[in-house]
Amino acid sequence: MQKRVQVSLTALLALVMMLALAQQPLEAQSDRRATQFTLSNGMQVVVVPDHRAPVVTHMVWYRVGAADEPPGVSGIAHFLEHLMFKSTEKIASGEFSRIVSRLGGQDNAFTSQDATAYFQRISKDRLGQLMLMEADRMVNLRLTEAEVLTERDVILEERRSRVENNPQAVLDEQMNAVLYYSHTYGIPVIGWEHEIARLSREDALGFYKRHYAPNNAILVVSGDVTPEEVKRLAEDSYGRLPANGEIRPRTRPMDPEQRAARRVEIKDPRAGKPSVQRYYVTPSYVTAEPGEAEALDLLMKIAGSGATSRLYQKLVSDEKIASSAGGWYGGSSMDFGKIAVYAIPADGVSLATVESAIDAVLADIVKNGVTEAELDRAKKAYLAEYIYESDNQSTLARRYGWALVAGRTVEDIEAWPERISKVKLEDVKKAAARYLDARRSVTGTLLPVAPDGVVHETGASAPLRRS
């Protein structure tokens, strides 16, 4: 009983703090929290102190992801991420995670289009040992032919389970491939199956030696540490590694202006229900004009986020033609951002009907904009999210790492609440008019196929025969 009371009091205190902060100007939330410095070998370091518990989150972000892969070896960035848990001269194959576990910590890694990151959560007194281990595998990875072939089979199975056996994932992959003309964001992070099957030890080691170096990495440490402590430990571990003189700024093929709306259709007997979704190419926070990405964020908060959004209210609550509807803006990438909208028809309703309803909602925003009340509510919702996320040291580490690896600065990150507060109604309307343009989009539909080969679009007046 005492524990339940404590949880309730904690939740109440958090709510009171959130309400109090929501009444203050957003500018007050952008106080400097992180400290940054650069080691002599070029490694960037960011420290975000949080002294409430004697634990730390340690993340190493490499400025390389799937979008930086050479032609013909798609998936090599993700493949190398797996192989980084093999051996060095000091650590036996597979022992890295087991050592972290014995030290009382947790670890993992991930790959995106723009970054590869390795992270651990551990007690602060183990941080120095952890840094030595991570620095070791940054430059001393050893790979045997057997390890590479075994892990390649693991990746192929991962692709089959996550993509090939998931019709929605297949649709998403195909839509992205069509959304970009030449940019490598059109290639899936996990890679194309036929190219994964040919990845070799030489491919992995070549990619490793080309991109894994202290001057191509960002260290983010959040938790119960001071900048001085982290600097001393970082210099004793990462600071001893030589810089790679071959590291160069990233360059990628950039797309021309989008000129034609495109469509993708997937028919699959494993699809439970039909669905429609659309992606629009937009700028990211890195490439947008000042204030534009913030306007896009608020636009899609109003248009597609949750049960109060325009799409949900119109399609689900009012017209009852969809069982689900929404959308979002993703602006954290390096080169391009994306707006996405989606809907799942209610029983008895065709895909064409819900797609027309989506078009009507977006067209109304383009023509008439949003209301002051909607904009104010969206700003407060984002502020609340920002406050809650700031209460988690792992989330803090990711917040800084994601932005920095894409090319933003600590100042950009910490001034975000202030910039959100400055977005005006006309900014949102202008962003909607510019980027909710069908010529910048790909629309995808997913249709269930019955065993008899008939496409059953729930509620359609007549089934469509598969061509």
| Short-list 353, 103, 128, CA closest to 221 | 128
Residue written as token pair 């510019």:
434
Alpha-carbon dihedral sign for residues 86, 90, 96, 98: positive
Burial of 79 (0-12, 13-18, 19+ CB in 10 A): buried
Token readout for 359 is: 């078009």
Annotation marks residue 81 as catalytic: yes
Q: Which of 81, 134, 151, 414 is the catalytic position?
A: 81
Residue 66 vs residues 46, 134, 141, 206: alpha-carbon distances, Å? 24, 21, 20, 15
The answer to whether 323 and 462 have CB atoms below 8 angstroms apart is: no
Single-letter amino acid, residue 289? E
DSSP count for the chain of H helices, then E strands: 17, 13
| Short-list 208, 172, 210, CA closest to 190 | 172
Length of the chain: 467
The answer to whether 284 and 406 have CB atoms below 8 angstroms apart is: yes
The CA-based diameter of the chain, rounded to the nearest angstrom, is: 71
The per-residue DSSP string of 167-186 comes to HHHHHHHHHHHHH-SSSGGG
Cβ atoms within 10 Å of 165's Cβ, excluding its own: 11
The answer to whether 83 and 147 have CB atoms below 8 angstroms apart is: yes
Stated as kind and residue range, the H or E segment containing 305 is: none
The answer to whether 151 and 105 have CB atoms below 8 angstroms apart is: no
Active site residues: 81
